[in-house]
């Protein structure tokens, strides 16, 4: 694993970026921290021997320098509406895989729309939303689909104990709201629709110990881009526990507080995925700690599989399309617990 291969991490000094750098080092990769803040890069690299490379998305030459000699690049810097396209262009010039941790629905749509053909022609691998929101839900839905070729609907319910957003989450959310003109999106009848009404609140029966909880229905996350990109499911809905939705919306909610030696917060999560076809239903539950921290093993496992040839697709592809979903999820067992439900 890793074999000392270099992986550029743009936005390495951000909250999620730090988890990614640490995970890369633990897995035997050599991270190359990058980003536009030279002082923060120096502070991150101090005492580690890492080769910090300042770069800006407005300066293609600086991005080329940052990616020189790297085997892959991971983009952890939002808003991805601003950073994704320049980094993808740089990865195509360098001839290396690109992955990001974007939860921004519109940015992920843009990646599929603008780079699918070019990436396929170049034989490149571009994986957007390789994170807790987007990639993880896609892997779970793909695994639970099993041998089904199509389904009627998929539901992904997020049971978060709370949600203390990072500054990056707040900035990305503001950009998405602006692009939606203050509205929201849902995925229904095989397409994204924009709505301006308030999302409904319903009750979701989570497994114990969480049990029944009120959730915001149509609390739409990046899963509505990743899952339909390769699975024939015309209705994809995501849900969020009311408490977590209130936390992330409140302007005075503090950022995550570290509670262990790995830098994780006390937040716990439970993801309940239900896929229905006709009268049949398949279901799986995943549990873990800290949605930001768990993004690191997700994206680093993806990098390892790409660089070792364990992929099923080229071009722009979501996690469930490009990887063996059940095998990928088994590899995450140190970080995530899976529970099939009858």
Report pTM.
Answer: 0.97
Give residue 42's domain range. 6-131+295-326
Q: In Å, how far are 57, 105, 126 from 115, measured between CA atoms?
A: 17, 16, 9
- The mean of the pLDDT values for the chain is 96
pLDDT at 1 over 70: no
Query: Do 234 and 246 belong to one domain?
Result: yes
Task: Based on the fold, state whether residues 190 and 332 are members of the same structural domain.
Answer: yes
Q: Residue 109 and residue 45: Cα distance in Å, rounded? A: 33
Asked whether residue 72 is domain-assigned, the answer is: yes
Q: Are residues 113 and 137 part of one domain? A: no
What integer is the mean pLDDT of 148-165? 98
Do the bridges between strand 280-289 and strand 337-341 make them parallel or antiparallel, or are there none, so unpaired? Answer: antiparallel
| pLDDT value, residue 92 | 98
74 and 165: one domain?
Answer: no
Whether 122 and 35 share a structural domain = yes
Same domain? 200 vs 265? yes
**204 found inside a domain:** yes
| pLDDT at residue 3 in the model | 73
Task: Based on the fold, state whether residues 251 and 301 are members of the same structural domain.
Answer: no
Whether residues 299 and 284 fall in one domain: no
Residues 96 and 26 in one domain: yes
Q: Pseudo-torsion of CA 249, 250, 254, 257, nearest 10°?
A: -40
Question: pLDDT tens-digit profile of 32-79?
Answer: 999 999 999 999 998 788 999 999 999 999 999 999 999 999 999 999
Would residue 121 count as lying in a domain?
A: yes
Tell me, yes or no, whether 154 and 121 share the same domain: no
Strand partners, 54: 35
Q: Which pLDDT band, with edges at 50, 70 and 90, does 129 fall under?
A: very high
Radius of gyration of the chain (CA): 19
Alpha-helical segments (H) within 95-132 = 105-122
Q: Does 1 reside within a domain?
A: no
Inside any domain, residue 217: yes
Query: Is there a single domain that holds both residue 284 and residue 240?
Result: yes
Cα 206 from Cα 43, distance rounded (Å): 42
Which CATH number belongs to the domain containing residue 244 in this structure?
3.30.360
Q: Does 42 fall in a domain?
A: yes
Kindly report the CATH number assigned to the domain that includes residue 107.
3.40.50.720
- Average confidence (pLDDT) over 230-258: 97
The three-state secondary structure class of 299 is: helix
Inter-residue contact 283 to 337 (CB < 8 Å): no
pLDDT for res 340? 80
| Count of domains forming the chain | 2
Buried b (16+ CB within 10 A) or exposed e, 205-228: ebeeebeebebbbbbbbbbbbbbb
- Domain identity same for 122 and 137: no
Helices (H), the chain: 15-26, 38-45, 60-67, 80-94, 105-122, 137-145, 167-179, 223-226, 242-249, 295-307, 319-322, 325-331
Is the pLDDT at 342 greater than 70, yes or no? no
Cα 164 from Cα 249, distance rounded (Å): 10
| pLDDT score of 175 | 92
């Amino acid at each position: 694993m890793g074999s000392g291969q270099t992986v550029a991490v743009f936005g390495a000094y951000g909250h999620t970026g730090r988890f990614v750098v640490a995970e890369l080092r633990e897995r035997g990769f050599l991270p190359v921290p990058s980003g536009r803040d030279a002082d923060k890069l120096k502070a991150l690299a101090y005492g580690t021997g890492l080769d910090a490379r300042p770069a800006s998305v407005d300066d293609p030459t600086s991005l080329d320098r940052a990616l020189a000699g790297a085997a892959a690049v991971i983009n952890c810097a939002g808003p991805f509406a601003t950073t994704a396209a320049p980094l993808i262009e740089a990865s195509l010039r360098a001839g290396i895989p690109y992955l990001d941790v974007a939860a921004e629905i519109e940015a992920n749509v843009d990646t599929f729309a603008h780079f699918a053909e070019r990436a396929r022609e170049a034989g490149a691998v571009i994986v957007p939303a390789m994170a807790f929101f987007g990639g993880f839900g896609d892997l779970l839905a793909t695994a639970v689909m099993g041998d089904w070729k199509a389904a009627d609907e998929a539901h992904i319910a997020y049971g978060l104990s709370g949600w203390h957003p990072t500054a990056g989450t707040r900035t990305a959310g503001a950009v998405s709201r602006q692009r939606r003109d203050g509205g929201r999106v849902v995925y229904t009848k095989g397409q994204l629709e924009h709505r301006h009404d308030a999302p409904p609140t319903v009750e979701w029966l989570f497994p114990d110990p969480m049990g029944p909880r009120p959730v915001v229905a149509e609390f739409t996350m990046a899963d509505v881009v990743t899952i339909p990109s390769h699975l024939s499911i015309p209705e994809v809905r995501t849900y969020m526990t009311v408490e977590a939705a209130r936390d992330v919306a409140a302007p005075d909610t503090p950022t995550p507080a570290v509670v262990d030696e790995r830098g994780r917060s006390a937040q716990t999560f439970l993801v309940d995925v239900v896929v229905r076809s006709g009268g049949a239903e398949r279901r799986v539950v995943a549990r873990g700690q800290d949605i930001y921290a768990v993004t690191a093993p997700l994206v680093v496992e993806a990098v390892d599989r790409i660089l070792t040839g364990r992929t099923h697709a080229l071009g722009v592809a979501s996690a469930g399309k490009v990887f063996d979903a059940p095998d990928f999820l088994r590899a995450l067992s140190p970080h995530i617990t899976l529970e099939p439900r009858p």
